[in-house]
Amino acid sequence: CSSLPKILRIVAYCTRFGKKLKALRDNSPLDHPSGPISACEMENSLLQLIHLDQQHHFHEFISHLKKANQIPFKWRFLLSLNPFLDDSDTLRVGGRIQRSQEDFDVKHPILLPKSKLTVMIARREHVKQLHAPPTLLLATLRQKYWPLSGRNITRKVYHECYTCFRAKPIPTEQIMGDLPSSRVNFTRPFHSTARAQEFAHRWRLHYLNTLQQRSKWRVTKENLAPDQVVLLLDETNREGSKWTLGKIESTHPGADGYVRVVTVRTAKGVYKRPVTKIACLPTTDGDPAPATREQPGE
């Protein structure tokens, strides 16, 4: 399950069912809530998941913390946060702002490990804050949570967001290919000139060696594949949300095996484009790319 609200609803219903069974076992009155899941139940479900996630990733650290033992070396990076366990055994940041008049959650945010649950919490907050950029997203998260490697997680969420990518798409790149033989060999027309030898010497000495360096696209990237969803760059309109949506129909690898040209099918036809003129949409479990069908006139 990739949707955090759906997971929280499932946990809330399971909690309700467990309380009902416990009440039947103890012959106590059934005072459990009914109807739709409330916001309070959703929040309690999230705290339960965070508690389980902490027990999984910080089990050894929490065990030493409870016994007041010396913290092992591999957990020393947490000591700068002065973590402690609250009344519900949830690991929180101790920090240095206990005397602040802020709320308890702000002074002692919940410590989040590097896990899928943390990414899902960040993704939910990203949408809640109207697709906030990484810096704002991290600042908002730290009002209640303290994710480890928070900057990397917020960047990951931002760059994998389909809506943010459509607003500011990044064209695809591939390492620059070798020059064709016509660019690096002395061609036949120059052999018939009177000063062919002198020109050939100057051409090899002063020009040919300047072609060695790649001025851009210096890094090898993963080849594009058929059925990937892409945007076709429109040089007349820099607004990425207006670019045409399409799907790669076939690829055309070069002699070195790298794909620099692809055939793209859109709602308006089939086009052959260099990879530098398209932007490959991010696809994740939590934020899938849409179908390539477009409305007329787009």
Q: Point out which residues pair with 261 in neighbouring strands.
A: 252, 274
Q: What angle do CA 199, 203, 208 make, to 5 degrees?
A: 170
In a domain, 44, yes or no: yes
pLDDT at 190: 54
Q: Which neighbouring-strand residues pair with 262?
A: 251, 273
Clarify whether residues 159 and 90 are in a common domain.
yes
Q: Please answer whether residues 247 and 264 qualify as being in contact, where contact means their C-beta atoms are separated by less than 8 angstroms.
A: yes
> What pLDDT does 196 receive?
66
Which pLDDT score is estimated for 2? Answer: 66
Look at residue 213 in the predicted model and tell me its pLDDT.
Answer: 79
Domain co-membership, 112 together with 37: yes
**Cα 250 to Cα 255: distance, rounded to the nearest angstrom:** 16
Query: Does a structural domain hold residue 151?
Result: yes
Please state the pTM of the whole predicted model: 0.77
In a domain, 98, yes or no: yes
- 149 with 180, same domain: the answer is no
Residue 93 lies in a domain: yes
Q: What are the CA-CA distances from residue 7 to residues 19, 42, 93, 112, 138 (Å)?
A: 18, 9, 26, 18, 23
Residue 200 within a domain: no
Instruction: Check which CATH number belongs to the domain holding 233 and give it.
Output: 2.30.30.30
76 plus 93 within the same structural domain:
yes
Q: Please check whether residue 127 lies inside any domain of the structure.
A: yes
Nearest to 113 by CA among 72, 78, 139: 78
Q: Which of 167, 194, 212 is the endpoint of a domain?
A: 167
Neighbours of 212 (CB within 10 A): 7
Would 153 be classed as within a structural domain? yes
Q: Do residues 132 and 97 share a domain?
A: yes
Q: Are residues 264 and 139 in the same domain?
A: no
Which mean pLDDT values do the consecutive 10-residue runs of the chain (298 residues) have? Answer: 86 91 81 83 95 95 85 87 92 92 94 96 96 95 95 95 90 86 68 62 76 82 93 83 91 92 94 93 61 43
Rounded Cα distance between 289 and 230, Å, is 9
- What is the total count of domains within the chain? 2
Amino acid present at 124 = R
Q: How many residues does the chain have?
A: 298
Same domain, 113 and 161: yes
Q: Are residues 11 and 158 part of one domain?
A: yes
Domain containing residue 49 = 4-167
pLDDT in the model for residue 294: 44
Judgement on whether residues 92 and 232 belong to the same structural domain of the protein: no
Q: What is the CA radius of gyration of the chain?
A: 29
Q: Which two tokens stand for residue 133?
A: 């950029």
- Assess whether 152 and 21 both reside in one domain: yes
Based on the domain organization, do 107 and 243 belong to the same domain? Answer: no
Alpha carbon distance 175, 276 (integer Å)? 11
**Which CATH number does the domain housing residue 53 bear?**
1.10.340.70
CB 111 within 8 A of CB 148: yes
**Do 180 and 136 fall within a single domain?**
no
- Residue 195: predicted pLDDT: 59
> What secondary structure, in 3-state letters, does 231-261 show?
EECCCCCCCHHHCEEEEEEEEEECCCCCEEE
Residue 295 lies in a domain: no
* Per-residue pLDDT, 111: 96
Per-residue pLDDT, 286: 46
Q: What is the pLDDT of residue 183?
A: 73
Cβ neighbours, 10 Å, residue 262: 26
Q: 3-class SS at 132?
A: coil
